[in-house]
Amino acid sequence: MPTALVTGASRGLGAVYARELAERGYSVVLVARDAARLAEVAESVGRATGAIVETLPADLTDPAGLAAVERRITDRDLPVDVLVNNAGVETDAVFAEAPVEVLAGEIDLNVTALMRLTRAAVPAMTARGHGGVLNIASVAGYLPSGGGNAYGASKSWVLAFSDTVAASLHGTGVTVTAVAAGRIRTDDDPQGPLWLDPCDVVRRSLDDLARGRTLSAPGWVYRALVGYLEAPRTALRLAARVAGRGRERCERLERGSGHTRPSPVPTPFRDEPAPSRPLPAVAVGPAPPVPPVLPEEPVRPAHVAAATVPAPRVSGTGPLPVVTRPAVAGSGALPARPTAARAATSATARAAVRRLPAAPRPVQPAREVATVRLAAG
């Protein structure tokens, strides 16, 4: 049988939550500061539903009482499947006139106790893969009250805290839901759409918790108001979820856990390591000689005298041969010349060119007579 723990179960919404959870098949653990009133609610719920009811009197603003409830939540033999953080307090004094002790107690119960109990319940629920936490907030968390007390600020923190924890538990099977409750009707309150029946609030919030919703706003008036006020946060929540999925996909690709697109051709060796080819062994020794940039000079034959071979000319070591041409008087285009004068000019130019002496051709030695006759026949 699953177990649910309800704080602030001695009156109001807490007692209604205990009755509804017992009717849904849960064994309930009731936590409240008033032990006598808590025993009466436990007896009433047990007689009406036949469920197992456990009482745990504790003051959640006292460190000892808060530690006792944490130990009950983390008990491995009797695990808690649903946690309802219903306990809360509101002071009627104006902030500037309220005692500091009263304001501090309001924060201790509405903020600190809720955070610590949620922290105690979430790890065990995550390990089991299922569970739910229901944090009772208020519409006052969206609209500041005229008195300027800390109640509205504490409920605003509950809304933001529940949203943050729910985002971190996405995909774990654990749901965290904040209840933006409006005005709860009592026996002395009038009828109207602004006053909500406590049984309707409890049923709607438990149904939203079972559906995995992050926020529950019972009542059509408050549902429309909260939907309008939550529009920017809803868009940011969707963007954060999309960014988180993209970041997880990038991490999977970096780890090499999968391929972005399967290959249409079967490749059985796709995941095999690439074959390694050994490099050829390189002999260790002196570096080979670097070939010259320019070709070497030809070697002089042995049968050619050294005096007859001109020395090679190195570029830039001597003047180039000068070719002289007769000057032409005047400027502009060259005048037309007769054929005899043009031939004489060409002969003069050829005579002015200094030619280098040609190397003598090698003379083949004469063959012996016997050899010549043998070759002839």
- Catalytic positions are 151
Please list the residues that pair with 56 across neighbouring strands. Answer: 31
Cα 168 to Cα 52: distance, rounded to the nearest angstrom: 33
Cα 162 to Cα 233: distance, rounded to the nearest angstrom: 13
Query: Both tokens of residue 46?
Result: 């047990």
Query: Both tokens of residue 230?
Result: 């939550």
Please list the residues that pair with 85 across neighbouring strands. Answer: 135
β-bridge pairing 27-32 and 82-85: unpaired
β-bridge pairing 82-85 and 131-136: parallel
- Strands (DSSP E) contained in the chain are 3-7, 27-32, 53-57, 82-85, 131-136, 174-179, 183-184, 195-196, 215-216
Cα 130 to Cα 6: distance, rounded to the nearest angstrom: 18
Find the helix packing angle between 12-23 and 35-49, rounded to 10°. 30
Cα 344 to Cα 326: distance, rounded to the nearest angstrom: 11
**Which is nearest to 202 in space by CA: 78, 21, 62?**
21
SS3 54: strand
Cα 231 to Cα 239: distance, rounded to the nearest angstrom: 13
Query: Both tokens of residue 3?
Result: 């177990």
- Strands (DSSP E) contained in 193-328 are 195-196, 215-216
β-bridge pairing 183-184 and 53-57: unpaired
CA distances (Å), origin 46, targets 51, 52, 54: 5, 7, 10
